[in-house]
Structure 1
């Protein structure tokens, strides 16, 4: 997959509420009711990521989940990252 330009990235970010672009990654933090809810969402994201064969960099501390996406093989952001970010938004929104 081809690496996106900064302009392409900024345009696509307009469709993802709260996601930011920094250090060749797009990222967002989510806050949940408690650890159990955060871990439940992480599990659903993990299954989706595996299906898309595109895996996030993430960190979980109690009820907070921070996700960073980039495509290592392309050396930056690709459409894969935006596809997974949209899937993540759908999962979190259905929580």
Structure 2
């Protein structure tokens, strides 16, 4: 193994571990939201919607039968449009922690 290869291998392993933790945190946050029975404010739900869609790389148009709801969902997606998948996962988990936990 060349001198730089060991360092690169260690960095890749650390990134993999970090991604696994992020996936676990995100999955737990989604499960918590799905089982949560108390009402949440509309602005929180819209942020969660946008973060979830971006985190799952789901770029389909909102599917509500109500045009006004679709407009709010589309607006939430536009506001979060520049987020990476990882940032959306982090933001989702952070918002769940703040609002539910």
Common fold: TM-score over 0.5: no
TM-score (norm 1): 0.39
Higher share of residues assigned helix:
2
Larger Rg: 2
